[in-house]
Structure formats: structure tokens, C-alpha cells
Amino acid sequence: MRLDVITIFPEYLAPLDLSLVGKARERGQLDVRVHDLRQWTHDRHHTVDDTPYGGGPGMVMKPEPWGEALDQLLDGARAEGRAEEPTLVVPTPSGAPFTQELAVELSGRPWLVFTPARYEGIDRRVVEEYASRLNVREVSIGDYVLAGGEAPVLVMVEAVARLLPGVLGNAESHRDDSFAPGAMERLLEGPVYTKPPSWRERDVPEVLLSGHHGRVARWRRDQALARTASHRPDLLAGIGSAELDRADREKLCELGWVESDGRFWPPGDRVEE
Ligand code: JDN
């Protein structure tokens, strides 16, 4: 897979030399190219921003440097005989949520181009222009305020790269990631433990040392249900009663959840009626 990142802070992407992504690059599984947007400016101050039409606070990224940068990448690839067009990934707080499902979709593409912005974002005409020629995805990694799209690019590249064939070692694996699509669970993972069995007078739960695989599985599932109920009630509310076994339903009742209309409802919701 080829990845290009166009940014005014190329040094911000230095972590892509490290760890899982860095090793995938060394093995030739990933071809990552980081570009300085200011290469595609022509004035002595390498200007990339200007004041917003219509007024208001902050600055807006000028369209011309982005257009020249993207055209050069597209034309260069065509000249090298590359048949595929890239998917353009635009981090923006007003984008669609970046989910595991989208990570899986992007991991199936041969070429991704990321365009992290600063300031108030990029002149709208850039997305419009390239959306007429390319697959463009405007994405947000979550509902909080950042100063620019570079940190989201690091997040998305890691989420995508680990899905590529041969990138994950044996230490990790995709099996029961909390958000893996199609995994029957859309439950959070429960707690994990390793040696020693007692640390600062805190003991590993007895059941995990019992060697009783059935009881271990049930305990883990109960922990996952409790954790999901506490931290992500929205996920639990999306699971139908039919997907839950008898012990699951008993656990949720014990946690104060109420079964109604084929779903479970959090404690305090739906009390009367
Ligand atoms: O959260 B983000 O993807 C994000 C993107 C931009 C930003 C702030 C946050 N400013 C310009 C793009």
C-alpha cells in the first residue's frame, strides 16, 4: 500500500518511522511519503493561508498549493505507470466518524493520500474539485477539538496499517478486537492479568488460575458486559436480546438493565410506563 501525507508540519509525522508502521515500511509492505505543502507555494513567505471570505475568526488554507500538490502526485503516479487512483482522506472535525469499518475499507485500497489541514481548514473548493475525480473521504476521529489534522493522520495510518496482510506479528492479532466488524461482540474487552499472581496484596481473580476454560470464558464475558454497560451504554443498547445468551441477560439484569422491546435499557431509563 502507498500512503502520501501533505502537510505544513512534515516533522509531526516522524512517528511513522517507528514501531508497527516503521517496521511495515522497512519490510516494503508500506510505501509512506510525507510532503511539505510549502513546496507548492511560489511567494517569498511560502504563504499557505489567507483570511476567510465573509469574515470571521482565524485563517483558511488557500486552494492553490493543495491543488498543485495533489496534481503533481496524481500526474507523477500516472507517469510511473500506476493504474490506480488514490483515495483522498481529509481529516476534519466536520467529517464522518472514522470507525473500524472505515479502517477496514481503507486497508483494501492500494493508495491513500492524506491532507491534514491547520487553521480553520481548507478552502471548500479543493474537496469539491477532487471529489469530482477521486474517492474522497472527509473523516473525524472524534468529538474533541484539535489544532490540525496531523494527529488524526497518525491515528488513521496506524489503524489501517495493522490490518494489512503480514503487518501484525504473532504477539497481537485481530481476533476479538472490541470494534472488529462482524465480531459477534460489539462489547468492550474486560481486564487482563499476567504474572505474578499476587502483586502488592492484589490477587489475580481466582477463576483465571483455575484452568476451567468454560468458567474463564463466562467470567470474561461478564466482565466485558459490565465494562460495556458502564463505559459504553450506547453499544449495549445496540445489541438485541436475541444476540445475548441466558447468562448475559442475567448479568445485565444484575447490573440494573431492563429488558423491553427485544433490547436492554440502561438503569434509570424507561422506569415508568
Ligand atoms: O480533528 B481534526 O481532524 C482537525 C482537523 C483540522 C483542524 C482541527 C482538527 N483544523 C484544520 C483541520
Cβ of 89 closer than 6 Å to ligand 1, yes or no, is: no
Distance, in Å, from the CA atom of 152 to the CA atom of 9, rounded to the nearest integer, reads: 13
Position 270 scores a pLDDT of 56
* pLDDT tens, position by position, 54-63: 999 999 999 9
Annotated catalytic residue: which of 10, 52, 93, 233? 93
Q: Ligand 1 pocket test: which of 8, 37, 90, 146 has the largest number of ligand atoms within 8 Å of its C-beta?
A: 146
Q: What is the average per-residue pLDDT within 25-42? A: 98
Q: What pLDDT, on the 0 to 100 scale, is given for residue 225?
A: 98
Is the pTM value of this prediction over 0.85?
yes
Q: What is the mean pLDDT of residues 187-210?
A: 98
The pLDDT value recorded for residue 268 is: 85
Instruction: Tell whether the model's pLDDT for residue 176 goes beyond 90.
Output: no
pLDDT at 120 over 60: yes
For the question of residue 177 being annotated catalytic, the response is yes
Q: Is the Cβ–Cβ distance between 29 and 164 less than 8 Å? A: yes
Task: Name the average pLDDT for the chain.
Answer: 94
Confidence of residue 183 (pLDDT cuts 50, 70, 90): very low
Q: Is 162 a catalytic residue?
A: yes
Q: 269 or 235: which carries more pLDDT confidence?
A: 235
pLDDT score of 180 more than 80? no
* pLDDT beyond 90 at 65: yes
Tell me, using a 6 A CB cutoff, whether residue 155 lines ligand 1.
no
Position 169 confidence tier, pLDDT thresholds 50, 70, 90: confident
| Residues 6+ away with beta carbon under 8 Å from 240 | 262, 263
Residue 146 in contact with ligand 1 by CB distance below 6 A: yes
Q: How far is the CA of 226 from the centre of ligand 1 (A)?
A: 34
Distance 159 CA to ligand 1 centre (A): 18
Mean pLDDT of 133-150: 97
40 has a pLDDT exceeding 60: yes
Distance 16 CA to ligand 1 centre (A): 19
pLDDT at 99 over 80: yes
90 lines ligand 1 (CB under 6 A): no
269 confidence band (pLDDT: 50, 70, 90): confident
Cell triple for residue 67?
491543488
- Is pLDDT at 182 greater than 60 in this prediction? no
Residue 273 has pLDDT above 60, yes or no: no
Per DSSP bridges, beta strands 263-265 and 49-50 are: unpaired
Alpha-carbon separation of residue 27 from 4, 21, 24, 35, 165 (angstroms)? 18, 10, 5, 22, 12
Catalytic residue among 118, 137, 162, 221, which? 162
C-alpha distances in Å from residue 154, one per residue of 17, 88, 157: 11, 15, 5
Say if ligand 1 is within 6 A of residue 139 CB: no
140, 93 Cβ separation under 8 angstroms: yes
Residue 263 has pLDDT above 90, yes or no: yes
